[in-house]
Copies of this chain bind each other. A is one copy, B any other.
Amino acid sequence: MNEIQSKKNALIKETKKLSQKKYRQQSGQYLIDGWHLVQEAIRANAAIQAIFVTSRGYEESKDSLQTVDAVLYLITEEIADYLSELPTPQGIFAIVAKENQLPGQLKGNWLILDNVQDPGNVGTMIRTADAAGFTGVFLGTGTADLYSSKVLRSMQGSNFHLPIVEGAIPEFIEVLRVQDVKIYGTELNKDALAYTNINTYPAAFILGNEGQGVQKDLLAVTDQNVYIPIYGEAESLNVAIAAGILMYHAAGLDH
């Protein structure tokens, strides 16, 4: 195992840069932090390019690490603190190559995110799509970056379970239409259809920005727009909660 003793090591400096979106885009790589995510990446046969462990982290994970075909680096606790955004770093990290390809099989339920800004919301929604057995998640331009540490943390490894594709939503809608997936926009407007009336499978749901909702241009090209009734006095639902309610309604139709 290679040893790195200093934060000033060139590879550590490059790795630290992966906390910035710009460098993730340039390199096509991202950094995962913590044992659970590294384990999920190994289990999913993700394209792991390097693993960094402290001696403490290595003790806990050596059995699993022996199966991985990636360069292993032993790092100090100080370097782990430097790389981690967690309050208590677990002493294990991996550099993973991004994958962003449309899967061969598109038919099934999809979640589409239009300008969702909060990384915690994006991550939780992807985790819920995974739980609900969705085929995939599509991130429209403007949505929080999939590979930021906050999104990665709240996804809890779901990016290794289902395809997550980034691109322009209008084009993706056309692709889904060919597969007979019905496209539902979401809005607060009670003139839309209550979601409980949806009874077609497969379905794609477009969820929008926390403040503005789904863009009007997109709502105009859906098959149907739906809303979730508000029975009390709240003005709206959190977007990740709304997505959870819709996705489990759709999952219920399919099972």
Interface string of A186-210 (1 = CB under 8 A from B): 0000000000100000000000000
Residue A236 lies at the interface, judged by CB distance under 8 Å to chain B = yes
Task: Determine the residue in chain B with the shortest Cβ distance to A254.
Answer: B231
Given contacts A229-B255, A255-B229, contact A156 B241 (CB under 8 A): no
Give how many copies assemble into the complex. Answer: 2
Taking CB atoms, residues of chain B closer than 8 Å to A254 are 231
User: Which residues of A from 77 to 124 have beta carbons under 8 Å from B?
Assistant: 120, 124
A132–B235 touching, CB < 8 Å: no
Checking B124, B158, B232 against A131 with a beta-carbon cut-off of 8 angstroms, the contacting residue is: B232
Give bound CA distance, A232 to B196, whole Å: 22
Task: Determine the residue in chain B with the shortest Cβ distance to A43.
Answer: B233
Give bound CA distance, A161 to B234, whole Å: 8
Residue A237 lies at the interface, judged by CB distance under 8 Å to chain B = yes
Taking CB atoms, residues of chain B closer than 8 Å to A251 are 229, 231
**A side interface size, CB within 8 A:** 37
Residue A32 lies at the interface, judged by CB distance under 8 Å to chain B = no
Give bound CA distance, A241 to B131, whole Å: 11
Give bound CA distance, A84 to B196, whole Å: 41
Taking CB atoms, residues of chain B closer than 8 Å to A120 are 120
Give bound CA distance, A165 to B217, whole Å: 44
Taking CB atoms, residues of chain B closer than 8 Å to A127 are 234, 237-238
Give bound CA distance, A229 to B131, whole Å: 8
Residue A134 lies at the interface, judged by CB distance under 8 Å to chain B = yes
A51 to nearest B CB, angstroms? Answer: 22
Residue A219 lies at the interface, judged by CB distance under 8 Å to chain B = no
Given contacts A120-B120, A229-B255, A231-B255, contact A237 B161 (CB under 8 A): no
Give bound CA distance, A132 to B235, whole Å: 11
Interface string of A227-255 (1 = CB under 8 A from B): 01111111111101110110010011011
Residue A213 lies at the interface, judged by CB distance under 8 Å to chain B = no
Taking CB atoms, residues of chain B closer than 8 Å to A255 are 229, 231
Taking CB atoms, residues of chain B closer than 8 Å to A158 are 232-234
Residues of A bordering B, CB below 8 Å: 120, 124, 127-134, 154, 156, 158, 161-162, 196, 228-238, 240-242, 244-245, 248, 251-252, 254-255
Chain A to chain B: the 4 pairs with minimum beta-carbon distance, closest first: A133-B231, A241-B244, A161-B233, A131-B234
